[in-house]
Structure 1
């Protein structure tokens, strides 16, 4: 009797266990069937055709601006500042006095030296007269002449020193902030003020030696700066270093840019583009169409297929592309996309290979316009 009960229990347990397993398997099969037959979600994107266009390549570089003439003005002699003849930020001309140092001591020495020179000249003239009458020897005349030259040299030296007590502007330009005050004692080399000629700017930069054949003096260059975003400055190459840096393989170049409006300033960093001579026919797409990745840059290309109901279905194909130069919001595609193929320009975040899309006429990257109150 006990054995029969055990058998009944085992049979009942097997039936229950089998039913549970069968239900679980049935549920999993139904879930798989649902997802397999469920319609793919449609993502809204914007797209634009790839364009075939003429592309002139550029040699990019980064440089630093400097004025065509720029210097920290200083005095070559020492002395007390007697007068200051300029204001900070003032435009000045070449030869304009900027500062006067005290020269009272030197003026006193000059008057003494001029008196000694006058006496030496009288002595020399008297010796010349006496030599004609054979009263003195030739050696006496030579000594008088040498003495006159020594006195004249001392006078000239003092006059030069006094002239240096007045500091003059070496060229036309714009002054910076004054670094001295009245009554201050200046040592030779102490900075008085900075002077910059802003009429023309120079930009120093380097390019690889492999680009040496593409650059030459007089060649046009373009420059952009962070200070004037969106604006391009046109210039020319003024000089090319004759020697390549053996350590880096780079060659120095200097470009010149007109600066009539004085918007460019020394010390600015600038991005330089040197246009190559050759023109290349290539496919281009907007920068926003490219998904940049360490494993390879890619774009989503829109493909049209016919659905079961005869309607057109848009699906995307992810393609790894080989890119070239970038310029003005577009990028060169050397490999991976053909001209006139439709590429997704916004809404790629949720896309994968084979995703269905709906092409919108509105750029998804732009914020929506505010509603009218």
Structure 2
């Protein structure tokens, strides 16, 4: 045991002696590399204050084509989905009886008019009393009413388009009996589309006819349909605390159909503002800061005041001037006072980003 302890002591003494005679290598500290950062210049860009909502498209005019009378279908002049003009005859019902009544009433009227002409000279010569002439005049007026009534009944057997539009599916066949209120087809004027959507009541003060809207449909993801607000409902829904806003948008190519669900953007205000990517904003408690790169490539911390935010962009209302370089990438690698190597960001504009998102 004593030999082992003696051996350990000799080894320790030898190591200490070697370290005392051998000079140690000096440890040199490597200089910290200058970090690379990406900066963007503060610029004035267009910004929009908007409200997003979901809306339902409706035909500008829409009816269910029906008959006023019960009668047999004699003629059908349309197919499913036809586009028709105003006044186009869609269906003719059997009308032989009504035509005969019109003829009979017109014959009766002609006879009464002939009789009136015959007795006028007799009244002038005092051969017939004026009372007889007045009675015949009343009879003529009644017969004219009968003619008008017979023609109206005849016209009821002809079903026409009250406005231009696109027809739906045909629901009747030749020879079928139609009754009042029975659906023959539908007719929609889709040259323009009414778009109804709900807006929270807190925005009522900013709503007015003439505001622009942009809408998208699932069926056309690459298209943006533009319209104008035409009216605002007079009541707020007490359950949803929202008001219905109606916009009208052109649909010349008839691509939009009634009933489509659309994502709507109501543009409350469009203006110019200083914008920065949100990635440049450094929140510290209730304040916001950015890192500015000065002329000497040194980092300076600057407090800013934010306005509205929109899809990755933030409005700067105070704290920055046009043309200043703000770090947008590499923020975690630097501290105020550090020297940096600057790389300019891609020249993306706010409007271009918006267009890219719309096309996506």
Task: Bin the TM-score by the shorter chain.
Answer: 0.5 to 0.7
For the residues of structure 2 that align with 1:259 and 1:203, how far apart are their CA atoms? 12
Unaligned 5+ segments in structure 1 are 1-46, 287-321, 345-373
How far the C-alpha of 1:324 sits from its partner, in A, is 6.8
Q: Which residue of 2 aligns with 1:168?
A: 160
* CA shift in 2, pair 1:49/1:244, >3 Å: farther
Q: Which residue of 1 aligns with 2:118?
A: 126
2:59 to 55, 58, 67: 67
How far the C-alpha of 1:103 sits from its partner, in A, is 0.3
How far the C-alpha of 1:244 sits from its partner, in A, is 3.3
SS of residue matched to 1:150: helix
1:194 to 186, 206, 219: 186
Contact 2:237 2:243 in 1 (8 A): no
How far the C-alpha of 1:172 sits from its partner, in A, is 1.8
For the residues of structure 1 that align with 2:268 and 2:307, how far apart are their CA atoms? 18
How far the C-alpha of 1:196 sits from its partner, in A, is 1.7
For the residues of structure 2 that align with 1:185 and 1:51, how far apart are their CA atoms? 75
* CA shift in 2, pair 1:236/1:161, >3 Å: same
CA RMSD in angstroms, aligned pairs only: 3.3
How far the C-alpha of 1:82 sits from its partner, in A, is 0.3
Q: Which residue of 1 aligns with 2:130?
A: 138
How far the C-alpha of 1:271 sits from its partner, in A, is 1.2
Q: Deviations over 1:283-336 (max 9, x none)?
A: 5448xxxxxxxxxxxxxxxxxxxxxxxxxxxxxxxxxxx997654xx36599xx
* CA shift in 2, pair 1:343/1:198, >3 Å: farther
For the residues of structure 2 that align with 1:325 and 1:220, how far apart are their CA atoms? 20
* CA shift in 2, pair 1:266/1:115, >3 Å: same
Q: Which residue of 2 aligns with 1:251?
A: 243
- In the alignment, does 2:327 pair up with 1:340? yes
How far the C-alpha of 1:250 sits from its partner, in A, is 2.8
Q: Which residue of 2 aligns with 1:232?
A: 224
For the residues of structure 2 that align with 1:141 and 1:152, how far apart are their CA atoms? 17
* CA shift in 2, pair 1:265/1:138, >3 Å: same
SS of residue matched to 1:135: coil
SS of residue matched to 1:153: helix
Contact 2:218 2:262 in 1 (8 A): yes
For the residues of structure 2 that align with 1:325 and 1:184, how far apart are their CA atoms? 63
* CA shift in 2, pair 1:271/1:283, >3 Å: same
For the residues of structure 2 that align with 1:210 and 1:73, how far apart are their CA atoms? 41
Q: Which residue of 1 aligns with 2:253?
A: 261
For the residues of structure 1 that align with 2:330 and 2:74, how far apart are their CA atoms? 74
State the TM-score, normalizing by the size of structure 1: 0.62
